[in-house]
Amino acid sequence: NAGVTQTPKFQVLKTGQSMTLQCAQDMNHEYMSWYRQDPGMGLRLIHYSVGAGITDQGEVPNGYNVSRSTTEDFPLRLLSAAPSQTSVYFCASSYSKISGSYNEQFFGPGTRLTVL
Amino acid sequence: GNSVTQMEGPVTLSEEAFLTINCTYTATGYPSLFWYVQYPGEGLQLLLKATKADDKGSNKGFEATYRKETTSFHLEKGSVQVSDSAVYFCALRALGNEKLTFGTGTRLTIIP
């Protein structure tokens, strides 16, 4: 298993440009999520999905769109990049139907995005 | 709402020193509690977890005990190594909810 993969690893954008951060998992996990990591703020949830065709907003959704057409993929789209979106982005997944309340979330290696 | 407060860093220790990183939480009911570790340039990895009061999670010499009475989940290690240098995140997940709430992270540096 490759686990959770993210592409690209690094990206530099100009203000106003659009791009898609890719996330894929091969563990048949139902739950997937996107976080951004900023200094002194920990990880903040952007969007999440509990299964194919179902998405919802997290703590900081503005400026980002997501879709979940398959179980494996959960891309994050920036429609018009802004300098405030400079951050490290992590995708995570977990299998929500395993018994109990302690399912481990598996994280991808991250995408470091700079918006100039 | 749910929240996690953890010890501000950075923390610098000498090799073989005793480590404590404090974590307290606010949540309704009985959340599950986690410690994640992030090594330089990598994503987060689960270090240990506890799902109910008085549970002790342990892994790689690290331990944390779920204390309901003090709403705490402090991370401890008796003798740290240079390879433990990383950022450590405390997190909680409310019962029946997949979403994780993270603390701000504590950067730990171990010097030889």
Work out the percent of chain B whose per-residue pLDDT is above 90.
Answer: 80
Q: How confident is the model at residue B95 (pLDDT cuts 50, 70, 90)?
A: confident
Instruction: Evaluate whether A58 touches A12 at the Cβ level (below 8 Å).
Output: no
pLDDT at A102 exceeding the cut of 80: no
pLDDT at B34: 95
Beta partners for B59? B62
Query: By the CB < 8 Å criterion, does B104 face chain A?
Result: yes
pLDDT for residue A99: 45
Residues B96-104 have a mean pLDDT of 86
Query: In this predicted structure, what is the pLDDT of residue A15?
Result: 98
Average pLDDT for B62-90: 97
CA-nearest residue to A89 within chain B is B43
B24-60 per-position pLDDT tens digit: 999 988 899 999 999 988 899 999 999 989 999 999 9
The bridge status of strand B23-26 relative to strand A19-25 is unpaired
Element (H, E) at A46: strand A42-51
User: According to the model, what pLDDT value does residue B94 have?
Assistant: 85
Q: Do A110 and B43 touch (CB under 8 A)?
A: yes
Q: Pairing mode, if any, of strands B11-14 and B56-59?
A: unpaired
Of residues A95 and B78, the one with the higher pLDDT is B78
Percent of chain B with pLDDT over 70: 100
- By three-state DSSP, how is residue B83 classified? helix
Task: Specify the pLDDT at position B23.
Answer: 97
> Is-contact A6 A91, C-beta < 8 A?
yes
pLDDT in tens, A17-36: 999 999 999 988 889 999 99
- Give the residue, A10 or A29, on which the prediction is more confident: A10
Model pLDDT for residues A51-99, shown as the tens digit of each residue:
899 999 999 999 999 999 999 999 999 999 999 999 999 999 987 665 4
* Average confidence (pLDDT) over A7-14: 96
CA distance A42 to B1: 17
DSSP state, residue A67: -
Tell me what the mean pLDDT of segment B79-87 comes to.
Answer: 96
| Residue A79, min C-alpha distance to chain B (Å) | 25
Q: Report the gap between the CA of B80 and the closest CA in chain A (Å).
A: 23
Chains A–B, number of C-beta pairs less than 8 Å apart: 54
Mean pLDDT of B63-72: 96
